[in-house]
Amino acid sequence: MVWDNSLPDAEVQMEKFLKAWPQVIVMAKLLHLKTDPNLYREVLKHYFEEKDASIVETVWRGLMGAKDQNDQGDGTDSKLDAGPDTAATMSLSNPIIPGFSPDPSIVKVGEWYFLVNSTFHMFPGIPVYASKDLVSWKHIGNVISRPGQVILKQSDTEVNRMPDVGEVMLATGGLFAPTIRYNNGTFYVVCTNVVRATEDTRYALQNFVATTRDIWSGQWDDLIWYDFDGIDPSILFDDDGKTYIQGSKSPGPYTRIAQFEIDIATGKKLSEEKILWEGTGGVYPEGPHIYKRNGWYCLMVSEGGTHEDHMITMARSRNVWGPYEPCPENPILVPASKDMYIRHTGHCDVFEDENGQWWGVLLGVRRDKDGRYNMGRESHLTPAKWADDWLRLESVEAEINTSRLASANAEQGLTAVEGVDFLYIRDPVLENYKIDSGSKTISVTSSSVDLSHPRESPSFVGKRQRLHAGQSSATFKISASSKVKTGLAVYKDEHRYLRVFYDTAERAVVYGFVNNAKDLKKTEQRALDRDVDTIQFRFEYTEREYRVFYTTGKDWEHVATLDTLDMTGPDFVGPVIGVFALAQESVTVEVADLQVE
């Protein structure tokens, strides 16, 4: 191990880093300004040894000016200045879309790539990300952006206890697994709204097509609904002008891949449904896509469920209706081994870049050795290739050699058009939120609906947590005479959230955490010695923990620390951090400087 004498006391700085996680990127930048970042990667590996590999990667991404320094929606990019010599050693880090970004689908149109994700119970639905180089991405809009396009009220989360494996799976309803395609000047997104049953209504799968001719406008036409009792729809525009929908057919106990011809302009079925393939024996064949290559219809699906046994398989036929012969080397992407950092990989869509290199975008989780994967399912990139008209996918790695990319020297990052990255729960009353043009001030009108409600929309607005190591904060201005509970929350669903808030009636700061799937619940209350009209809350977080703070003046008070393992489990969604206001009567809270990293 060689140390750089130009930076004395490096080990001491590492000790400070252990005690000050939120300053990780700042420290990394200081190190980089003084020496070669490659050396410090070796320093990190040497110092931390086997303690936690994720620490090495976190600091390394900081040194590289990687995507963890992303834009928070104000139109400016906060990536580090990695210096003029960094590009030659730079690599692309997975995930390419960090945070809550499951079930990716992608299409290349001209020089641009457009990627979409599932959003389940959150509104707006189905984000659209754009990139020219697969490295730097921008959130440009959302397919579901108008109240009433889709009703998300019955998108509640089912708690499914699995005693045979000792885990609890949480299955959220709402918008499942979109596919994006382009044909004759129009963009198409097909998706399913999973509607949970009530006492008066049955479980339903509402499938639709969304279209736009101007994807940059953020405006999509009224939805076209079609009948299909299944999820995960995909769309194939064949050479003869016919259009086909493929999907994962219900009812079960397991699913099968079905297809029918459709009039895409009206949603009318032009054929009966036909089962194309039942997979190779893994549970829940789903996420189908057909790619036409050299006269073959190549059908790619996911099997094994979306967690530990997730894998990709393929079959092909000379006829779009089959019969489909399975690939002799299935699975074409095996379930990730338990010693890998990126796990649960599957639900893939593939494409070719302008250099002729094939790639797959797919979901995966970053899982540490103790089982933490609090960020949930994220969008990753992996190289692919064709051999004898069969597809091969490489295992998903934390880093990708940028020499395979068309823009090898591009700087990784994630930005957003102002305002498009705000999220609400289910069907919000948008009149209850007023966000200024710079997103610096948010007026939130309270409701009596709490975060624990399975179907209504609480007064909550936030953004996806994008960083493993970062912080989120906001300042709240409150009338002491009002009776309101308002503060900051990390929200996954009605069963799992952590929050800190000021209760004006009790004149107290309250910390609360709930995970019904793990039978965990905790509440702590800290009385203040006076009424306050301004209070600030902050979360500091790493891959391992959330730390909760508040201040009413100069000094920050530590309230609680939560292990992220308590927020981790087999689920569909990821953390959203935002502000909320809860009251029996209508109260307006002014929130300043909401920052979510």
> What CA–CA distance (Å, rounded) separates 9 from 386?
51
Residues known to be catalytic: 103, 286
Question: Which pLDDT score, from 0 to 100, does residue 405 have?
Answer: 80
> What DSSP string describes 214-242?
-GGGT--PPPEEE--SEEEEEEEE-TTS-
Show the low-confidence residues of the chain (pLDDT under 50): 1-13, 15-43, 46-47, 49-51, 62-89
Asked if omega into 575 is within 30° of 0 (cis), the reply is: no
Is omega for the bond preceding 163 within 30 degrees of 0, making it cis? no
Angle, nearest 10°, between helix axes 24-34 and 10-19? Answer: 170
- Tell how strand 136-144 and strand 413-416 pair up: parallel
> In 457-575, at which residue ranges do the beta strands (DSSP E only) sit?
460-464, 470-477, 485-493, 496-503, 508-515, 520-527, 534-541, 545-551, 557-563
pLDDT, position 159: 93
Residue 473 contacts residue 595 (beta carbons within 8 Å) = yes
Name the phi and psi angles at 441, rounded to 5. Answer: -130, 135
CA distance 370 to 481: 46
Interval 557-585: pLDDT, tens: 999 999 999 999 999 999 999 999 999 99
> Do residues 189 and 125 make contact, with C-beta atoms less than 8 angstroms apart?
no
Best CA proximity match to 589, nearest among 501, 508, 511: 501
Cβ distance 542 to 548 under 8 Å? Answer: no
Query: Could you give the CA distance from residue 175 to residue 513 in angstroms, rounded to a whole number?
Result: 26
Residue 556 identity (one-letter amino acid)? W
Of 330, 394, 419, 334, nearest to 94 by C-alpha is 394
What are the residues facing 196 on neighbouring strands?
none
The pair of structure tokens assigned to 420 is: 């498009």
| Structure tokens given for 190 | 């097909």
pTM of the model: 0.86
DSSP for 246-312, please give it.
EEEE-SSSS-EEEEEEEETTTTEE-S--EEEE--SS-S--EEEEEEEETTEEEEEEEES-SSTT-EE
pLDDT value for 474: 98
Predicted pLDDT at 199: 82
Residues 6+ apart with CB under 8 A from 584: 448, 483
- Domains of the chain are 10-69 (no CATH), 94-416 (2.115.10.20), 424-596 (2.60.120.200)
Q: Is there a contact between 69 and 60 (Cβ–Cβ < 8 Å)?
A: no
**If you search the block for the tokens 């493993």, which residue do you land on?**
468
Rounded to whole angstroms, how far apart are CA atoms 497 and 479?
Answer: 26
Burial status of residue 519 (CB atoms within 10 A of its CB: 0-12, 13-18, 19 or more):
exposed
CA angle 179, 454, 539 (to 5 degrees): 85
Contact 556, 474 (CB under 8 A): no
Give 574's DSSP letter: -
Instruction: Return the pLDDT at 163.
Output: 72
Q: Which two tokens stand for residue 62?
A: 């900081």
Contact 106, 117 (CB under 8 A): no
**What are the distances in angstroms from CA 444 to CA 146, 257, 276, 394, 479?**
19, 45, 50, 46, 13
Can you give the pLDDT at residue 54?
53
Residue 244 CB partners (closer than 8 Å, separation 6+)? 235, 236, 238, 259, 260, 261, 262, 290, 320
Q: Is 449 helix (H, G, I), strand (E, B) or coil?
A: coil
Distances (CA, A) of 248 to 207, 237, 251: 12, 18, 10
Token pair in block for residue 422? 């705000």
Query: How large is the C-alpha radius of gyration of the chain?
Result: 24
Residue with tokens 């090898």: 408
